[in-house]
Chains A and B, each alone.
Chain A
Amino acid sequence: MEHIRFILIQNRAGKTRLAKWYMQFDDDEKQKLIEEVHAVVTVRDAKHTNFVEVISVADSLSVLQFRNFKIIYRRYAGLYFCICVDVNDNNLAYLEAIHNFVEVLNEYFHNVCELDLVFNFYKVYTVVDEMFLAGEIRETSQTKVLKQLLMLQSLE
């Protein structure tokens, strides 16, 4: 059963700016995954693919039995947006799902920056839940998501 295992936003220093988990991990496992994802994505450059091959890290990411998962990531300035999915999942669809998500954040926060994610973390979670739920893509229309977000904001 393919689905997203987690979504992570990290900065270059490895600070987590968002972590949304779609399967059960205990706290130690989460911490380990966060560190290992950081270790594998930060060494890659523009000549590399946006997909982290799991073979090179198969042993270290033992919690996930990593062979069956892959990380699809995209870097925006100092932030890495990472989605961990099953090895059979569609790479490009998730790569663009990341971008779609970032465009919504950018619109919603009017030129989003890292600090927006830090101080408005509860809003970021709402954006995530509108677009991804239960490890699946829930809504892809930027117009619809933004409309819903504005409606919710009006309730505050």
Chain B
Amino acid sequence: MQPLSAGSGLEAGVCKSKEAEIKRINKELANIRSKFKGDKALDGYSKKKYVCKLLFIFLLGHDIDFGHMEAVNLLSSNRYTEKQIGYLFISVLVNSNSELIRLINNAIKNDLASRNPTFMGLALHCIASVGSREMAEAFAGEIPKVLVAGDTMDSVKQSAALCLLRLYRTSPDLVPMGDWTSRVVHLLNDQHLGVVTAATSLITTLAQKNPEEFKTSVSLAVSRLSRIVTSASTDLQDYTYYFVPAPWLSVKLLRLLQCYPPPDPAVRGRLTECLETILNKAQEPPKSKKVQHSNAKNAVLFEAISLIIHHDSEPNLLVRACNQLGQFLQHRETNLRYLALESMCTLASSEFSHEAVKTHIETVINALKTERDVSVRQRAVDLLYAMCDRSNAPQIVAEMLSYLETADYSIREEIVLKVAILAEKYAVDYTWYVDTILNLIRIAGDYVSEEVWYRVIQIVINRDDVQGYAAKTVFEALQAPACHENLVKVGGYILGEFGNLIAGDPRSSPLIQFNLLHSKFHLCSVPTRALLLSTYIKFVNLFPEVKPTIQDVLRSDSQLRNADVELQQRAVEYLRLSTVASTDILATVLEEMPPFPERESSILAKLKKKKGPSTVTDLEDTKRERSVDVNGGPEPAPASTSAMSTPSPSADLLGLGAAPPAPAGPPPSSGGGGLLVDVFSDSASVVAPLAPGSEDNFARFVCKNNGVLFENQLLQIGLKSEFRQNLGRMFIFYGNKTSTQFLNFTPTLICSDELQPNILGFITKPVDPTVEGGAQVQQVVNIECVSDFTEAPVLNIQFRYGGTFQNVSVQLPITLNKFFQPTEMASQDFFQRWKQLSNPQQEVQNIFKAKHPMDTEVTKAKIIGFGSALLEEVDPNPANFVGAGIIHTKTTQIGCLLRLEPNLQAQMYRLTLRTSKEAVSQRLCELLSAQF
């Protein structure tokens, strides 16, 4: 079908030039204005005609500043055409003019109450189009009634459902949940498929926000879906589109099901049947050759696959989905190839289908080479990245590199990042890694960001097995007559550190190395030259024989009198250092860089930023997990380091930064300059001992959950936590008290080996490595108590403040009593249980001196805060306190009874704990004793 062909090419508006059009329109506007202002009242027909003309003029692209009132008047007409034009004008030219809104709302109200389905429809469509807050206020209560009333016409129900959806989107607070919600869910059973279609959209949106309230929609949606997919292609008559039964409704139902986890077994069996039927149909010969048939069928298929991936629980379905997508990879329709690549990307991250996805590697590589649409090639790159693991990394990286040579500029940087990440993550052999990165620089040097070349240096420095190879390779790469400046940077840095490893070969003697680097010097930008000057001074230390040559260079006017302050300063200082300092001092100051502490890769962070957090994170996380087990150990996660991630492009060998270097003699001992810190920064990776005073703070949290855990001049750490049964969640707030940024801010949760099997704590999301001055950032730790434990996890925080490295460790107040659930019981029960726990190992007693004033109310509050129930009138002696509760761990529950007997005269307490487990009694007694 080729509709619309007749009018193409004809210009509407009918005027030859812009000026003529404007002239004509101004004339018409003047005419309409005079009609509206005229003495003679216009009849409805004329009013409609002129309002319609105004609308037409507006739609041609001209401003309209009158006619609103006339449009509002039309709303109260009894003629459909007049009302329709009035509503259309309002919908297109909404004006938040409050007086008009009141009039409009009034007209809508009348129409909603009119019981005329046509007028109700117009009013509902107007609300759905405008959707303003004023309208929500006026109608959010009314529309649910219209929706579920027994006598509402089907078409009005459809409009009401979607109208309500619009109001819920714009003003969720004004749409109250109520009795109507359960009746809305039952619309999924409605006979009219149009009503079901509209209702499914509404339910899906509501269910996303209130999953509990709409839980019953799952089984109804499954049975509705089941009826559709098993129906014959003609059963649904009006709703069959090119032999596909109700494709849009099927898609919507499948999306609704994606708001929920896999349903209970009974419903689940039926759903699995549906999904299998959909997959089977994809294999049947098509009922029509029309693209509409295949599109509609595949729309349902892709949505079914999304649901299968969402559930990620049926290996059989996942693999079948993968095979189906594999067929699409070679389909003649570009759309299908694109969608298959996209969908496979998510399948690659499921453990069940990862291997199945990998079998399509050749097809995907071929797509990279042959697809004409850049967006399809982009998807192929994404998929290759997602399917990459140790087994196929060399092939995938090689293909990406070769694609990079011809890749569109728009996606080059992303490919560079991906190659860099894969090369590092799956490197068995680090010579391969070095080669890959140098190739990256050669092929796409302009797109290699700082993060990438910082990273290669970092890895070379941390791995001594690759240093010699790296030196040799960069030396060879630098021979090329034209090499990218990034290569000069990497080469300069690496030769400055490890040039000595290849200096034995007469072809790369110190002097040759120096001359090679210096031949590039004048072509480079200032930051690179600064870096090269640092390389030269490192050479002075490594190769005393070239010292005079280098001193000559430093002494030349082009250095000493360079117009750039940074270069001039370096030349002056390095020259002086090389002249004044003794060999020993030189050797210390210019020592080889210490290994960098390992952190999360800044490259990965950059990729996430490029792709948007939501799209990449999940995939990355699963990749990372996988890479760990593939590599069989804690492979150094791609990391950025303090010195390396300094944003300044002049990241230099010594990390001098702006701090004054020591020109000669022993370095200053203050530690204020960057020099000392960077050169001796191997301390950076060591966890600091616990901060002084943190023990006291820790004890304060035993009986409470919120407060300030740690505070010094720079940093404040606040806590808010909640515990339920054996689970807990802790919100940690880091406040930067200074006006300066914290950089590389990295909190880590450390559970000792002893603690680890008993308590699981994990940080849900890394915080941004930069904390602005005065800012507060939040982090969430999820905790699970597996079995009873004694120690507490340690929170270690490392960051850079000014030039100095900060390292703080505090114990996180996660204590056994947090998993207490109070138990109320009567005196009789209490003493009966007390007697049952009379085994000597079950009781722990402590007699201790009061550290705080002995106040009854405070004591009560502490026992309740501790987590047990405070049992009144249980102990015959009213001065004593008794409590009871259950400690919940994942593996077991432990009943606990406690008794606290104060002795006011002696200012002493006796605390007795009885539980079924000695270690628990012991620990609880310790914790509670410290509170009084």
Contact with B along A36-71 (1 / 0, CB 8 A): 000000001001111111011000000000011000
Instruction: Decide yes or no whether A144 CB sits under 8 A from chain B.
Output: yes
- In the complex, the answer to whether B374 meets A152 with C-beta atoms within 8 Å is no
Q: Are B335 and A90 in contact (CB under 8 A)?
A: no
Q: How far is the CB of A90 from chain B (nearest CB, A)?
A: 5
Q: Are A133 and B197 in contact (CB under 8 A)?
A: no
Residues of A within 8 A of B326 (CB): none
A47 contacts across to B, CB distance below 8 A = 334, 372-373
Contact with A along B186-214 (1 / 0, CB 8 A): 00000001100110010001001000000
Which residues from B are CB-within-8-Å of A10?
Answer: none
Q: Mark B254-292, 1 if CB is under 8 A from A, else 0.
A: 010000000000000000000000000000000000001
State which residues 103-138 of A face B: CB under 8 Å. Answer: 103, 105-106, 111-116, 118-119, 121-122, 125-126, 129, 133-138
One digit per residue, 1 when the CB lies within 8 angstroms of any chain A CB and 0 when it does not, for chain B 225-255 equals 0000000000001110100001111011001
Q: Does residue B787 face the partner (Cβ distance < 8 Å to A)?
A: no
Q: Is the CB of B12 within 8 A of A15?
A: yes
Complex Cα–Cα for A148 and B239 (A): 15
Q: Tell me the smallest distance from the CB of B439 to a CB of chain A, in Å.
A: 24
B197 touches A138 (CB 8 A): yes
**Which bucket holds chain A's interface residue count?**
35 or more
B586 CB–A CB distance under 8 Å: no
Once the chains are docked, how many angstroms separate the CA of A52 from the CA of B376? 11
Proximity bits, A6-50, B CB within 8 Å = 1, else 0? 000001110110000000000000000000000000001001111
Whether A139 contacts B158 in the complex (CB less than 8 A), given A78-B4, A114-B10, A122-B52, comes out as: yes
Chain B residues within 8 Å of A2, by CB:
255
The 4 A-B pairs with the shortest beta carbon distances in the complex, nearest first, are A78-B8, A113-B7, A53-B375, A114-B7
Say whether B633 faces chain A, with CB atoms less than 8 Å apart. Answer: no
The complex places the Cα of A47 from the Cα of B128 at a distance, in Å, of 37
Known: A1-B205, A51-B375, A141-B193. A115 touches B198 (CB 8 A): no
A30 CB to closest chain B CB, in angstroms?
A: 11
* B12-A138 in contact (CB<8A): no
Name which of B55, B375, B411 has the most chain A CB atoms within 10 A of its CB: B375
A91 to B334, CA, bound (A): 13
Contact A95 to B335, CB < 8 A, known contacts A77-B4, A115-B10, A138-B159: yes
Contacts of A78 in B (CB 8 A): 4-5, 7-9
Query: CA–CA, A148 to B238, complex, Å?
Result: 14
- When distances are taken between beta carbons in the complex, the residues of chain B under 8 Å from A15 are 11-12
Are the C-beta atoms of A133 and B128 separated by less than 8 Å?
Answer: yes
Chain A residues positioned under 8 Å from B615 (CB to CB)? 67, 87
Q: Is the CB of B7 within 8 A of A116?
A: yes
Q: Say whether B7 contacts A48, CB under 8 Å.
A: no
Tell me the bound Cα distance from A91 to B247 in angstroms. 13
B788 at the interface (CB under 8 A from A): no
CB distance from A123 to the nearest CB of B (A): 9
Which stretch (B162-170, B215-223, B430-438, B770-778) binds chain A?
B162-170
Whether B296 sits at the interface, judged by CB under 8 Å, is yes
Q: Closest A residue to B337 by CB, please name it.
A: A49
Also in contact, A55 and B131, with CB within 8 A (given A113-B7, A118-B12, A133-B163)? no
Cβ–Cβ < 8 Å partners of A144 in chain B = 194, 238
A16–B62 alpha-carbon span in the complex (Å): 13
Would you give the shortest CB distance from B289 to chain A, in whole angstroms? 15
Closest beta carbon of chain B to A93's beta carbon, Å? 4
Q: Which of B78-86, B494-502, B704-712 contacts A (4 or more CB under 8 A)?
A: B78-86
Once the chains bind, are A93 and B248 in contact (CB under 8 Å)? yes
Cα(A136)–Cα(B193), bound, Å = 15
Check if B238 sits within 8 Å of A142, measured CB to CB: yes
14 A-B pairs whose Cβ atoms sit less than 8 Å apart in the complex: A49-B373, A49-B375, A53-B375, A77-B4, A78-B7, A79-B8, A87-B615, A96-B248, A96-B299, A113-B4, A113-B6, A113-B7, A129-B125, A133-B125
- Of the candidates A11, A48, A112, A135, the one whose C-beta lies within 8 Å of that of B3 is A112
Q: With A121-B59, A134-B166 known to touch, is A76 a contact of B302 (CB < 8 Å)?
A: no
- Pair B339/A56 contact, Cβ less than 8 Å: no
| Chain B 318-338: CB-based contact to A (< 8 A → 1; otherwise 0) | 000000000000000011001
Contact flag A134-B162 (CB < 8 Å), given A49-B335, A113-B4, A122-B88: yes
A139 touches B194 (CB 8 A): yes
A12, B4: Cα distance in complex, Å: 13
Nearest residue, chain A, Cβ from B169: A1
Q: Is the CB of B1 within 8 A of A55?
A: no
Task: Check if A105 sits within 8 Å of B373, measured CB to CB.
Answer: no
Pick from B4, B334, B376 the residue with the most CB of A within 10 Å: B4
B295 at the interface (CB under 8 A from A): yes
Per the 8 Å Cβ criterion, residues 88-121 of B in contact with A are 88, 91-92, 118
Closest-CB distance, A33 to chain B (whole angstroms) = 14
Q: How far, in whole Å, are A100 and B13 apart by their CA atoms in the complex?
A: 28
> In the complex, what residues of B have CB within 8 A of residue A77's CB?
2-5, 8
Q: How far is the CB of A127 from chain B (nearest CB, A)?
A: 12
- B595 → chain A, closest Cβ, in Å? 37
Report if A55-B378 is in contact (Cβ < 8 Å); known contacts: A48-B334, A133-B125, A141-B238: yes
Q: A1-B205, A15-B12, A100-B241 are in contact. Are A137 and B197 (CB under 8 A)?
A: yes
